[in-house]
A and B are shown apart, each in its own frame.
Chain A
């Protein structure tokens, strides 16, 4: 009797460990890491309207950083943003709302009027894609530099050296993806794939399946 109990206990332990290992190895659910809190902000957009981080609660947002006198690097950033918007239907977004925000780090030149002209010039749909900045330069530096951890610095000729990053933020204000380098897979493809993964989590991680999603976070089952 005692032996049977012991066997049962070990069997149970083996099943539990094997289940955990199987979850880790086969990763039936993929998630995006919860990297850190996105910074809060209060800015003015290209239509002189206020846009705050609270307005974007509940939206999955893709952020980029630029300035309107920027030519080469911003061309690629803007084309990628447009490609993502054009291909959004490829991802299973369901009822997940998305928004696109470009933050200018050159508020001295980038008035809302300048931002509007820039948006028009690159053919952006400003219903979905907002161009914002704030005249509070020290706070802007904290938001972009420390909050989004994106480097920018003005050069002596007035142009800027900056990190052409894309940052993916979920509806709870948590940074879920950072895209700073080119890889073999295009940035648009990676972001679209991650948008799909995030949307699945937003739509499915409720009730009993929340536990499975939490397990995926614990076991670091991150989407590539």
Chain B
């Protein structure tokens, strides 16, 4: 009887261990599409506030989140930037290893200074960049971002429809993850934590 109990308990502990081991070693399930590109993400140089030029390659060693948006954006951009800002706050000290760069899809209205004022409202580390319309069109195209002007109201002026994904470039400069619009703060935090581990 004692032996039987020992084997049943042993088997249960073993199965629990197997399950625990599987959960521990299982691959992290990202909340977006993982890209396994052998090539570095497309590098660019654009204008930031204070007359600075910013290149993607300047941030190697950090996780870079690329977001294409604009300061007059009524809903999608503030929602995404607010979520990323909150995710960075929940990362604590590790947030220093993450850099969000918002690339403007509205170069007519977004000056570098205006972008800086807008993005730092969501997190003090955020950077906003812009450039010549042709250059922005090329960068956006190569990151799979479509955008087009769209008539708005008298109050808002024209709007810009744009692909609202959040692109994650890893510490070595490889495009690693594409998060869809609508990812939650917790989901962003989980993925960033995993990539910073």
Contacts and interface: CB of A to CB of B under 8 A. Distances in A.
A78 to B, nearest CB: 26
B10 A4 contact: yes
Main secondary structure of the interface of B (DSSP, over half): mixed
B163 interface: yes
A16 B21 contact: yes
B74 interface: no
B160 to A, nearest CB: 13
A53 B33 contact: no
A34 B29 contact: no
A114 interface: no
Contacts of B91: none
Nearest to B138: A142
Contacts of B195: none
B29 A172 contact: no
Main secondary structure of the interface of A (DSSP, over half): helix
Contact of A139 (B21, B27, B141, B175): B141
A42 B36 CA distance: 26
B145 interface: yes
A172 B165 CA distance: 11
Contacts of A36: 35, 37, 39, 175
Interface stretch (A65-73, A119-127, A178-186, A208-216): A208-216
Contacts of B25: 16, 20
Contacts of B175: 36-37
A173 B144 contact: yes
Nearest to B161: A54
Given A8-B14, A35-B37, A217-B36, 10 more contacts: A8-B10, A16-B22, A33-B36, A34-B34, A34-B37, A37-B178, A41-B146, A138-B138, A172-B33, A211-B29
Cβ-closest 6 pairs across A and B: A37-B144, A40-B146, A36-B37, A142-B138, A39-B141, A54-B146
